[in-house]
Amino acid sequence: MSAWRQAGLNYVNYSQIAAKLVRQALKPELRVQAAKRDESHVKFTTWKDGKPITEKL
């Protein structure tokens, strides 16, 4: 059994922790670039009868 499994982590949690530690170990100029890649955006679309429902803001 792997060490991360024995610690009670799943692979996703383990990889997130490892990625965070690697980013912290980078030089400052490279850390900024790595932080930009860490961002993610999610867009949700509600569907009804096979068509997306658009809401006007």
Query: Is the pLDDT at 12 greater than 70, yes or no?
Result: yes
- 55 three-state secondary structure: coil
Residue-level pLDDT at 57: 56
What are the tens digits of pLDDT across the range 19-51?
889 988 999 888 888 877 777 778 888 898 998
pLDDT attached to residue 7: 87
The whole model's pTM is what? 0.54
H or E segment to which residue 30 belongs: helix 28-38
Buried b (16+ CB within 10 A) or exposed e, 24-35: eeeeeeeeeeee
Residue with tokens 């867009």: 43
The yes-or-no verdict on residue 9 having pLDDT over 70 is: yes
Residue 32 has a pLDDT of 86
Looking at the predicted structure, is the pLDDT value of residue 52 above 60? yes
In this structure, what are the phi and psi dihedrals at residue 10, rounded to the nearest 5 degrees?
Answer: -95, 175
Q: Which domains does the chain have, with CATH numbers?
A: 3-53 (1.10.1620.20)
Residues 45 and 15: their CA atoms lie apart, in Å, by 29
